[in-house]
Structure 1
Amino acid sequence: MLTRLFSHSKPIAYAILSILFAIAFCIENFFSTPIDLSTALVFGKLGILLVFLLLVFLLNFIVKRNKIHQQHTYAASSFVLLIIAFPEVLRSSEFVISYFFLLLSLRRILSLKTNTNIKQKIFDASLLLSISIAFDPFHWLFLLVIYFGVTLYASQNYRHFIIPIAGLAIGVILHISYFLIFENTWINFRDYLPKFTGIDTFFETFKYGSLTGFILAILTWIILQLPIIYNRAKLHERETLSLILAFMLISLSALIFNHKPVSEDAIYLIWPLAILIGNYFQLKSTKKWIKEVFYIFFVSGIVFSAIY
């Protein structure tokens, strides 16, 4: 049933996903933990909900605009159903804003494939990344994704490799200026260094250890299908998929080497994984019953998270 619902991109599918996500968000932010309600808090939470919904629609925009997917909502539905199982992510605020600007940066790099306004797009991508870094310092790692995109789409001019540094430098200068003027302090450069706390932090609790293992199992299965996905993709689609895979690789590095638990940063893995799941689902060789099993596991993850 879910396979049929999300096998197209009709408005009803997006409406159901938006309502489902909004319900889960409100439960986690207003009912699951005791809070002192105020007008400012309610509007602040609703603003974060809007950013989350923008992440969903940005995912859909990227895969459709860059022709990564056909006309379906497999990726968006996979993202929503997987992310709901991680309530700590739904309760985040600065992090989701940071991730939103990170995805805007990725979108500008993907748009380099049109071969128009190349310098402007590279600068925009690096400037958006600098905004993301202001919220989460460890996002500087994604500068590698920008350079990979430049190498993939705009390597014919060596000046294109200088632009990301210029855009990032402007953002860093503004960031430092803010701290000096309003906080009367200097930024702590140690926040930008990797903080590997060990693999055991991914499995520190039974709940998130199980959910992490579940997502890693899905990722392993999708990776095994990559040869088929690439063989069925056109040349421009392969380039875009390569950039998404680079984004996922850096996302895994951010997940491993920052100091936060996976319960808060699961979106690093889930967002790019949802795109790959969408590619796998649209293969003619992917049977309908396999898709249904995936959706059953997604829903089971939500139920498991709610119970524990």
Structure 2
Amino acid sequence: MLTSFFSKSNPINYLISGILLCLGYFLAVITSETEMITTVLVLEHIFYLGLAVFMMLLLDFVIRKNDLNRQNTYGIVIFSGFLIFFPAAFLNRELLATNMFLLLALRRILSLHTDKNVEKKILDAALWISLAALFYFYALLFFIVLYYAILQRSQASYRYFVIPVLGFFGVFMLANTYYLLTEDSLIWLLQWQKPIGMDFSVYNEISLLIPTAIFGTFLIWTSTHRLLKLKTVSRKDRPNYFLMLVVLLICLFLGMSTPEKSGAEVIFMLGPLAIVTASYLERLDEFLFKELLLWGIVVLPLVLFLFVR
């Protein structure tokens, strides 16, 4: 049974989740690739596939380091299943890189509940968010998550609020220097912020409509359940428990702000939703219902690919 299998953190669980991601990436490529196969193209695909696997492992590290879930691998298998639902996410290089940097920032933000190296953690998070914003302007919205985490601290020095600004301007000046040296121009500033796309017609296609409906159901159901259970969480765990809902909300806005809608924009919500869904599964007492949910997350993406796309 899947729930029993992934309730442990054996190495085989990571291997299976990685194979699931590789399969999803392969299916996404063979259905969309029109370029002639070259060595450079193959190496490029290997690199971005490695990036997707790295994000899965990074998510697992974030979960374990901050005790967001129990000692299981629900989070990574849910992340892999959700990602396969939206194969366009594998192929959007900018959003893939942006999401990786935001996960690195989230790792530092979630660790702010401890009193160790607080200023360094804030600076690291600000740098990662700023790097993400170089790929996707609206990633700057993630600074809201950082400042919210700072405000959650019982003792918040004024320095904590200044550090993110300094981190952003440090990356911003380095980016300007790079473009001046390579292009002798700052024209990139005019192209940095792209208008928000409001054309959601792509979601009328059955291949995106069904995954979005399933994904949206998980989003609403598990988030509502998490909010209702907030009072039952210990005082120690409550800050990060609620912070994940804030992250999920900001990631929803990040996805809606993309210039073009293709399904790839959902990638921002995959990590936090995987954490929230894993937490929901842990609290479920109905074994059969839990089993059906996990099987659905793993099998449905492949079924939809074979019979709908």
TM range (shorter): over 0.9
TM-score, normalising length: structure 1: 0.92
Partner of 1:267: 267
> How far apart, CA to CA, are the structure 2 residues paired with 1:291 and 1:97?
32
Partner of 2:304: 304
Give, in angstroms, the shift of residue 44 of structure 1: 1.8
Aligned residue identity for 1:108: R
1:113 aligns with 2:97: no
- The answer to whether the Cα contact below 8 Å between 1:118 and 1:154 also exists between their aligned partners in 2 is no
1:286 aligns with 2:276: no
Give, in angstroms, the shift of residue 170 of structure 1: 0.6
Q: Could you list the per-position Cα deviations for residues 60-111 of structure 1 after superposition, in whole angstroms to 9, with x for gaps in the alignment?
A: 1111110111111111111101111211111232321221111111111112
Secondary structure of residue in 1 paired with 2:71: coil
Partner of 2:82: 82
TM-score, normalising length: structure 2: 0.92
Partner of 2:198: 197
Q: 117-126 or 235-244, which moves further after superposition?
A: 235-244
Aligned residue identity for 1:287: E
Partner of 1:237: 237
Stretches of structure 1 lacking an aligned partner (at least 5 in a row): none
> How far apart, CA to CA, are the structure 1 residues paired with 2:278 and 2:229?
10
Q: Could you list the per-position Cα deviations for residues 119-160 of structure 1 after superposition, in whole angstroms to 9, with x for gaps in the alignment?
A: 111111111111111111111111111111111137521111
Give, in angstroms, the shift of residue 262 of structure 1: 4.7
Secondary structure of residue in 2 paired with 1:162: helix
- Residue-pair matches, total: 306
Secondary structure of residue in 2 paired with 1:220: helix
Identical-residue share of aligned pairs (%): 27
> How far apart, CA to CA, are the structure 2 residues paired with 1:252 and 1:179?
31
Q: Could you list the per-position Cα deviations for residues 175-224 of structure 1 after superposition, in whole angstroms to 9, with x for gaps in the alignment?
A: 122222212332234643661515x4462322212211211111111123
> How far apart, CA to CA, are the structure 1 residues paired with 2:30 and 2:216?
30
1:142 aligns with 2:142: yes
- The answer to whether the Cα contact below 8 Å between 1:126 and 1:143 also exists between their aligned partners in 2 is yes
> How far apart, CA to CA, are the structure 1 residues paired with 2:2 and 2:216?
22
- The answer to whether the Cα contact below 8 Å between 1:202 and 1:212 also exists between their aligned partners in 2 is no
> How far apart, CA to CA, are the structure 2 residues paired with 1:46 and 1:18?
13
Q: Could you list the per-position Cα deviations for residues 218-253 of structure 1 after superposition, in whole angstroms to 9, with x for gaps in the alignment?
A: 111112312454244322322112222111111111
Give, in angstroms, the shift of residue 47 of structure 1: 1.3
Q: How does 1:122-201 map to 2 (within 5 A)?
A: 122-153=122-153, 155-186=155-186, 187-189=188-190, 191-192=192-193, 195-197=196-198, 200-201=200-201
- The answer to whether the Cα contact below 8 Å between 1:86 and 1:263 also exists between their aligned partners in 2 is yes
> How far apart, CA to CA, are the structure 1 residues paired with 2:228 and 2:6?
22
Partner of 2:218: 218
What RMSD in Å do the two structures reach over aligned CA positions? 2.0
Aligned residue identity for 1:277: T
Secondary structure of residue in 2 paired with 1:235: coil
